[in-house]
Amino acid sequence: MIIEDEPFILCDGLVKIYKVANLEVVALQGLDLLVHRGELLGIVGASGSGKSTLMNILGGLDRPSAGRVFVDGRDLLKMSDAELNAYRSTRVGFVWQQGARNLIPYLSALENVKLPITIAGKMTRESSKRAEMLLDAVGLGERKLHRLVEMSGGEQQRVAIAVALANNPSLLLADEPTGEVDTNTANEIFQIFKDLNHELGITTIIVSHDMNIARHVDRVVAIRDGKTSTETVRQPVNNLHPAVAESEQQTGEPNAPTNPDHHEEVTFEEVVLLDSAGRLQVPRDYLEQFNIQRRVFVEVTKDGILIRPAPPSEREKALVQATSGKLPLEEKETGLRALFSRLRIPNITRRQP
Protein backbone atom coordinates (compact mmCIF):
# COMPACT_ATOMS: atom_id res chain seq x y z
CA MET A 1 0.00 0.00 0.00
CA ILE A 2 1.34 3.43 -0.97
CA ILE A 3 1.50 5.95 1.87
CA GLU A 4 1.39 9.42 0.32
CA ASP A 5 2.36 11.42 3.41
CA GLU A 6 5.70 9.64 3.82
CA PRO A 7 8.95 10.65 2.05
CA PHE A 8 9.22 9.26 -1.46
CA ILE A 9 12.43 7.44 -0.46
CA LEU A 10 13.25 6.39 3.09
CA CYS A 11 16.47 4.56 3.96
CA ASP A 12 16.87 3.82 7.66
CA GLY A 13 20.03 2.15 9.00
CA LEU A 14 20.77 0.55 5.63
CA VAL A 15 23.52 -2.09 5.76
CA LYS A 16 24.96 -4.07 2.88
CA ILE A 17 27.64 -6.72 3.37
CA TYR A 18 29.21 -8.59 0.47
CA LYS A 19 31.06 -11.86 0.94
CA VAL A 20 34.18 -12.18 -1.20
CA ALA A 21 35.87 -15.56 -0.73
CA ASN A 22 36.23 -15.77 3.06
CA LEU A 23 36.12 -12.02 3.59
CA GLU A 24 33.17 -9.76 4.37
CA VAL A 25 33.13 -6.33 2.72
CA VAL A 26 30.81 -3.76 4.31
CA ALA A 27 29.56 -1.46 1.53
CA LEU A 28 26.88 0.37 3.55
CA GLN A 29 27.20 0.94 7.30
CA GLY A 30 23.85 2.13 8.62
CA LEU A 31 23.06 4.65 5.89
CA ASP A 32 20.10 7.02 6.42
CA LEU A 33 18.51 8.98 3.56
CA LEU A 34 15.28 10.87 2.93
CA VAL A 35 14.25 12.01 -0.56
CA HIS A 36 11.11 14.02 -1.27
CA ARG A 37 8.77 13.28 -4.16
CA GLY A 38 9.83 15.15 -7.29
CA GLU A 39 13.27 16.04 -5.90
CA LEU A 40 16.38 16.26 -8.09
CA LEU A 41 19.15 14.84 -5.90
CA GLY A 42 22.86 14.42 -6.52
CA ILE A 43 25.00 11.84 -4.71
CA VAL A 44 28.79 12.14 -4.62
CA GLY A 45 31.56 10.18 -2.97
CA ALA A 46 34.88 8.48 -3.60
CA SER A 47 35.12 5.09 -5.29
CA GLY A 48 34.07 2.39 -2.83
CA SER A 49 32.07 4.77 -0.65
CA GLY A 50 28.78 2.91 -1.32
CA LYS A 51 27.16 5.13 -3.99
CA SER A 52 26.53 2.42 -6.57
CA THR A 53 25.46 -0.06 -3.88
CA LEU A 54 22.78 2.40 -2.75
CA MET A 55 21.60 2.90 -6.35
CA ASN A 56 21.36 -0.86 -6.89
CA ILE A 57 19.24 -1.25 -3.77
CA LEU A 58 16.91 1.64 -4.66
CA GLY A 59 16.56 0.24 -8.16
CA GLY A 60 15.67 -3.27 -6.97
CA LEU A 61 18.85 -4.79 -8.39
CA ASP A 62 20.13 -5.83 -4.98
CA ARG A 63 18.79 -6.40 -1.49
CA PRO A 64 20.25 -4.88 1.69
CA SER A 65 21.62 -7.04 4.49
CA ALA A 66 19.80 -5.03 7.18
CA GLY A 67 17.83 -1.85 7.72
CA ARG A 68 14.70 -0.47 6.06
CA VAL A 69 14.17 0.90 2.56
CA PHE A 70 10.89 2.29 1.21
CA VAL A 71 10.37 3.75 -2.28
CA ASP A 72 7.04 5.40 -3.10
CA GLY A 73 5.51 3.72 -0.06
CA ARG A 74 6.71 0.24 -1.08
CA ASP A 75 8.80 -1.81 1.32
CA LEU A 76 11.51 -3.24 -0.92
CA LEU A 77 12.64 -5.73 1.73
CA LYS A 78 9.25 -7.42 1.82
CA MET A 79 8.90 -7.79 -1.96
CA SER A 80 9.11 -11.22 -3.52
CA ASP A 81 11.48 -11.78 -6.43
CA ALA A 82 8.57 -11.47 -8.88
CA GLU A 83 7.38 -8.24 -7.27
CA LEU A 84 10.91 -6.84 -7.35
CA ASN A 85 11.21 -7.72 -11.06
CA ALA A 86 7.97 -5.88 -11.79
CA TYR A 87 9.10 -2.93 -9.66
CA ARG A 88 12.39 -2.36 -11.48
CA SER A 89 10.90 -2.87 -14.95
CA THR A 90 7.91 -0.54 -14.52
CA ARG A 91 8.61 1.84 -11.62
CA VAL A 92 12.32 2.61 -12.09
CA GLY A 93 14.27 4.03 -15.03
CA PHE A 94 18.04 3.47 -15.26
CA VAL A 95 20.72 5.48 -17.04
CA TRP A 96 24.19 3.94 -16.87
CA GLN A 97 27.60 5.40 -17.66
CA GLN A 98 28.38 2.72 -20.25
CA GLY A 99 26.31 3.03 -23.42
CA ALA A 100 26.29 -0.75 -23.91
CA ARG A 101 24.11 -1.11 -20.79
CA ASN A 102 21.59 1.46 -22.02
CA LEU A 103 21.07 0.82 -25.72
CA ILE A 104 21.07 -1.76 -28.53
CA PRO A 105 23.49 -0.50 -31.19
CA TYR A 106 21.78 -1.90 -34.33
CA LEU A 107 18.42 -0.24 -33.52
CA SER A 108 17.48 3.33 -34.27
CA ALA A 109 16.92 5.86 -31.50
CA LEU A 110 13.15 5.48 -31.79
CA GLU A 111 13.33 1.68 -31.83
CA ASN A 112 15.46 1.75 -28.68
CA VAL A 113 12.88 3.87 -26.87
CA LYS A 114 10.02 1.65 -28.02
CA LEU A 115 11.76 -1.57 -26.97
CA PRO A 116 11.04 -1.45 -23.20
CA ILE A 117 7.42 -0.55 -23.94
CA THR A 118 7.14 -3.56 -26.25
CA ILE A 119 8.77 -5.89 -23.70
CA ALA A 120 6.28 -4.69 -21.07
CA GLY A 121 3.42 -5.51 -23.48
CA LYS A 122 2.16 -1.93 -23.46
CA MET A 123 2.78 -0.87 -27.06
CA THR A 124 -0.18 1.17 -28.31
CA ARG A 125 -0.58 4.14 -30.59
CA GLU A 126 -0.37 6.43 -27.57
CA SER A 127 2.80 4.79 -26.26
CA SER A 128 4.38 5.07 -29.70
CA LYS A 129 3.63 8.79 -29.66
CA ARG A 130 5.12 8.96 -26.17
CA ALA A 131 8.37 7.48 -27.46
CA GLU A 132 8.59 10.23 -30.08
CA MET A 133 7.67 12.86 -27.48
CA LEU A 134 10.52 11.70 -25.23
CA LEU A 135 13.03 12.01 -28.05
CA ASP A 136 11.72 15.51 -28.71
CA ALA A 137 12.14 16.29 -24.99
CA VAL A 138 15.84 15.33 -25.08
CA GLY A 139 16.43 17.29 -28.28
CA LEU A 140 16.65 14.37 -30.71
CA GLY A 141 13.30 14.57 -32.51
CA GLU A 142 14.99 15.13 -35.86
CA ARG A 143 17.39 12.20 -35.35
CA LYS A 144 14.90 9.61 -34.15
CA LEU A 145 15.54 7.31 -37.15
CA HIS A 146 19.32 7.47 -36.84
CA ARG A 147 21.25 4.49 -35.51
CA LEU A 148 23.66 4.78 -32.63
CA VAL A 149 26.77 4.62 -34.82
CA GLU A 150 25.57 7.84 -36.43
CA MET A 151 25.37 9.64 -33.07
CA SER A 152 27.90 11.20 -30.72
CA GLY A 153 28.41 9.95 -27.17
CA GLY A 154 26.32 12.81 -25.80
CA GLU A 155 23.46 12.06 -28.22
CA GLN A 156 23.55 8.38 -27.28
CA GLN A 157 23.25 9.33 -23.62
CA ARG A 158 20.22 11.48 -24.48
CA VAL A 159 18.63 8.45 -26.12
CA ALA A 160 19.41 6.47 -22.97
CA ILE A 161 17.52 9.03 -20.88
CA ALA A 162 14.50 8.71 -23.19
CA VAL A 163 14.69 4.90 -22.93
CA ALA A 164 14.76 5.12 -19.13
CA LEU A 165 11.54 7.17 -19.19
CA ALA A 166 9.74 4.99 -21.75
CA ASN A 167 7.54 3.13 -19.24
CA ASN A 168 6.70 6.29 -17.27
CA PRO A 169 8.63 5.35 -14.09
CA SER A 170 8.23 7.20 -10.81
CA LEU A 171 11.98 7.07 -10.05
CA LEU A 172 14.88 7.86 -12.39
CA LEU A 173 18.36 6.65 -11.37
CA ALA A 174 21.46 7.81 -13.24
CA ASP A 175 24.84 6.31 -12.34
CA GLU A 176 27.69 8.52 -13.64
CA PRO A 177 25.70 9.57 -16.76
CA THR A 178 28.36 12.16 -17.73
CA GLY A 179 31.42 10.06 -16.98
CA GLU A 180 32.34 9.50 -20.65
CA VAL A 181 31.61 12.92 -22.18
CA ASP A 182 33.33 16.31 -22.17
CA THR A 183 32.43 19.18 -19.85
CA ASN A 184 30.15 21.04 -22.27
CA THR A 185 28.23 17.88 -23.14
CA ALA A 186 28.01 17.00 -19.43
CA ASN A 187 26.41 20.38 -18.72
CA GLU A 188 23.89 19.78 -21.51
CA ILE A 189 22.99 16.36 -20.09
CA PHE A 190 22.60 17.77 -16.59
CA GLN A 191 20.29 20.44 -18.01
CA ILE A 192 18.15 17.75 -19.66
CA PHE A 193 17.76 15.96 -16.32
CA LYS A 194 16.83 19.29 -14.75
CA ASP A 195 14.26 20.14 -17.43
CA LEU A 196 12.66 16.68 -17.34
CA ASN A 197 12.51 16.79 -13.55
CA HIS A 198 10.60 20.09 -13.71
CA GLU A 199 8.34 19.10 -16.62
CA LEU A 200 7.49 15.53 -15.57
CA GLY A 201 7.91 15.84 -11.79
CA ILE A 202 9.85 12.58 -11.70
CA THR A 203 12.05 11.96 -8.67
CA THR A 204 15.62 11.84 -9.98
CA ILE A 205 18.87 10.71 -8.34
CA ILE A 206 22.19 11.27 -10.10
CA VAL A 207 25.43 9.70 -8.87
CA SER A 208 28.52 11.58 -9.97
CA HIS A 209 32.20 12.16 -9.18
CA ASP A 210 31.79 15.73 -10.46
CA MET A 211 31.42 18.11 -7.51
CA ASN A 212 30.00 20.74 -9.92
CA ILE A 213 26.80 18.70 -9.92
CA ALA A 214 25.68 20.99 -7.08
CA ARG A 215 25.03 23.68 -9.71
CA HIS A 216 22.51 21.46 -11.49
CA VAL A 217 20.48 19.76 -8.74
CA ASP A 218 18.37 20.75 -5.75
CA ARG A 219 20.58 19.04 -3.17
CA VAL A 220 23.79 17.02 -3.01
CA VAL A 221 24.41 14.28 -0.45
CA ALA A 222 27.98 13.04 0.05
CA ILE A 223 28.55 9.42 1.06
CA ARG A 224 31.72 8.40 2.90
CA ASP A 225 32.56 4.95 4.26
CA GLY A 226 29.06 3.64 3.58
CA LYS A 227 27.19 6.45 5.38
CA THR A 228 25.77 9.83 4.44
CA SER A 229 28.26 12.42 5.70
CA THR A 230 27.39 15.89 4.38
CA GLU A 231 24.62 17.65 2.49
CA THR A 232 24.98 20.68 0.19
CA VAL A 233 21.98 22.79 -0.76
CA ARG A 234 21.95 25.54 -3.37
CA GLN A 235 20.49 28.69 -1.87
CA PRO A 236 19.78 32.21 -3.15
CA VAL A 237 22.07 34.62 -1.29
CA ASN A 238 19.14 36.41 0.37
CA ASN A 239 17.91 33.06 1.81
CA LEU A 240 21.17 32.16 3.54
CA HIS A 241 21.32 30.95 7.10
CA PRO A 242 22.44 33.95 9.22
CA ALA A 243 25.69 32.24 10.27
CA VAL A 244 26.66 31.59 6.64
CA ALA A 245 25.72 35.11 5.56
CA GLU A 246 27.82 36.60 8.38
CA SER A 247 30.78 34.45 7.36
CA GLU A 248 30.57 35.66 3.78
CA GLN A 249 30.33 39.28 4.89
CA GLN A 250 33.54 38.86 6.89
CA THR A 251 35.47 37.24 4.04
CA GLY A 252 33.87 39.23 1.23
CA GLU A 253 33.88 36.07 -0.91
CA PRO A 254 30.58 34.32 -1.72
CA ASN A 255 30.69 30.57 -2.17
CA ALA A 256 29.51 30.72 -5.77
CA PRO A 257 29.10 33.18 -8.66
CA THR A 258 25.88 34.26 -10.28
CA ASN A 259 23.78 31.35 -11.55
CA PRO A 260 23.49 31.82 -15.34
CA ASP A 261 20.20 29.90 -15.51
CA HIS A 262 18.25 32.14 -13.17
CA HIS A 263 20.36 35.32 -13.25
CA GLU A 264 20.54 35.48 -9.48
CA GLU A 265 23.32 35.10 -6.98
CA VAL A 266 23.39 31.68 -5.37
CA THR A 267 25.59 30.03 -2.81
CA PHE A 268 26.10 26.48 -1.62
CA GLU A 269 25.48 25.76 2.05
CA GLU A 270 27.08 22.54 3.33
CA VAL A 271 26.03 20.84 6.55
CA VAL A 272 27.18 17.65 8.27
CA LEU A 273 24.48 15.00 8.61
CA LEU A 274 23.55 13.17 11.80
CA ASP A 275 22.33 9.59 11.67
CA SER A 276 19.33 8.35 13.65
CA ALA A 277 21.56 7.67 16.69
CA GLY A 278 23.00 11.21 16.70
CA ARG A 279 26.35 10.20 15.20
CA LEU A 280 28.08 12.43 12.66
CA GLN A 281 31.06 12.17 10.33
CA VAL A 282 33.43 15.06 10.88
CA PRO A 283 35.21 15.94 7.59
CA ARG A 284 38.68 14.42 7.46
CA ASP A 285 40.31 17.80 6.74
CA TYR A 286 39.00 19.13 10.05
CA LEU A 287 40.25 16.09 11.93
CA GLU A 288 43.74 16.55 10.54
CA GLN A 289 43.72 20.33 11.03
CA PHE A 290 42.97 20.05 14.75
CA ASN A 291 44.76 16.72 15.32
CA ILE A 292 41.53 15.02 16.40
CA GLN A 293 41.92 11.27 16.71
CA ARG A 294 39.70 8.90 18.71
CA ARG A 295 38.76 11.10 21.69
CA VAL A 296 37.05 14.49 21.87
CA PHE A 297 35.44 16.79 24.44
CA VAL A 298 31.84 17.78 23.63
CA GLU A 299 30.64 20.97 25.29
CA VAL A 300 27.36 22.86 25.13
CA THR A 301 27.80 26.57 24.43
CA LYS A 302 25.34 29.40 23.85
CA ASP A 303 25.80 29.01 20.09
CA GLY A 304 25.59 25.21 19.92
CA ILE A 305 27.85 22.24 20.55
CA LEU A 306 31.64 22.59 20.65
CA ILE A 307 33.93 19.66 19.79
CA ARG A 308 37.53 19.86 21.04
CA PRO A 309 40.33 17.29 20.78
CA ALA A 310 41.05 15.33 23.96
CA PRO A 311 44.51 14.02 24.88
CA PRO A 312 45.08 10.34 24.07
CA SER A 313 44.54 7.81 26.82
CA GLU A 314 47.39 5.71 28.24
CA ARG A 315 46.08 2.74 26.28
CA GLU A 316 46.19 4.71 23.04
CA LYS A 317 49.72 5.92 23.80
CA ALA A 318 50.83 2.33 24.35
CA LEU A 319 49.16 1.27 21.12
CA VAL A 320 50.90 4.04 19.16
CA GLN A 321 54.25 3.03 20.64
CA ALA A 322 53.66 -0.63 19.86
CA THR A 323 52.64 -0.02 16.26
CA SER A 324 55.28 2.61 15.48
CA GLY A 325 58.15 0.96 17.36
CA LYS A 326 58.96 4.20 19.15
CA LEU A 327 60.14 3.07 22.56
CA PRO A 328 62.04 5.17 25.16
CA LEU A 329 65.81 5.22 24.63
CA GLU A 330 66.56 3.14 27.71
CA GLU A 331 64.20 0.41 26.48
CA LYS A 332 65.38 0.26 22.88
CA GLU A 333 66.62 -3.17 21.83
CA THR A 334 67.95 -4.49 18.56
CA GLY A 335 67.93 -7.79 16.74
CA LEU A 336 66.03 -10.84 18.04
CA ARG A 337 65.77 -9.40 21.56
CA ALA A 338 63.79 -6.43 20.19
CA LEU A 339 61.52 -8.80 18.28
CA PHE A 340 60.86 -10.97 21.35
CA SER A 341 60.28 -7.85 23.45
CA ARG A 342 57.59 -6.60 21.08
CA LEU A 343 56.00 -10.05 21.17
CA ARG A 344 55.98 -9.80 24.97
CA ILE A 345 57.81 -13.11 25.54
CA PRO A 346 59.26 -12.98 29.09
CA ASN A 347 62.62 -14.07 30.51
CA ILE A 348 64.66 -13.46 27.40
CA THR A 349 68.39 -13.86 28.14
CA ARG A 350 71.41 -13.57 25.94
CA ARG A 351 73.35 -16.76 25.33
CA GLN A 352 76.90 -16.40 26.55
CA PRO A 353 79.61 -17.18 24.02
- Quick: pLDDT tens for 42-78: 999 888 889 999 999 999 999 999 999 999 999 999 9
Q: How many residues does the chain have?
A: 353
Identify the weakest region by mean pLDDT among 146-160, 178-192, 334-348: 334-348
Residue partners of 274: CB distance under 8 A and separation at least 6: 280
Inter-residue contact 193 to 206 (CB < 8 Å): yes
CA atoms within 13 A on the CB side of 156: 23
CA atoms within 13 A on the CB side of 67: 25
pTM as predicted: 0.76
Tens digits of per-residue pLDDT, 160-215?
Answer: 999 999 989 999 999 999 888 888 999 999 999 999 999 999 999 999 887 788 88
**Domains of the chain listed by start with CATH number:** 37-63+78-270 (3.40.50.300), 281-309 (no CATH)
Residue in 214, 196, 227, 306 with CA at minimum distance from that of residue 255: 214
CA separation (Å) from 12 to 15, 113, 235, 340?
Answer: 9, 35, 27, 48
Local structure of 197: helix, strand or coil: helix
pLDDT reported for residue 329 = 43
Calculate what percentage of the chain has a pLDDT beyond 90.
42
